[in-house]
């Protein structure tokens, strides 16, 4: 498992939630955790997403940025 960050929706500012994901191939990961009921994630459990490295609060993190297909 790999930790990736998923953007939250409707927060008024950029907010990222860490979650577990399975590396599928290249830059594609499948989200394996479900978000809390009171949060709206841009991507949800079971979705495959493309990830790239991005600086978040001074740390280099893998962030989900678009849907992907395998």
| pLDDT for residue 16 | 96
| pLDDT for residue 30 | 98
| pLDDT for residue 36 | 92
| pLDDT for residue 70 | 85
Rounded CA-CA distance 47/33 in Å is 10
pTM > 0.85: yes
The list of the chain residues with pLDDT below 70 reads none
**Exposure on the CB side of residue 10, measured as CA atoms within 13 A:** 4
User: Which residues lie closer than 8 Å to 19 by C-beta, 6 or more apart?
Assistant: 3, 4, 5, 6, 31, 32, 33, 35
| pLDDT for residue 44 | 94
Give me the sign of the Cα torsion angle 5, 46, 48, 29. Answer: positive
């Amino acid at each position: 498992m790999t930790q990736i960050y998923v953007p939250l929706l409707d927060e008024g500012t950029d907010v990222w939630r860490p979650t577990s994901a399975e590396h599928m191939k290249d830059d594609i990961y499948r989200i394996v955790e479900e978000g809390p009921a009171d949060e709206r994630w841009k991507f949800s459990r079971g979705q495959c997403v493309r990830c790239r490295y991005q600086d978040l609060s001074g740390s280099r993190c893998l962030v989900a940025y678009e849907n992907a297909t395998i």
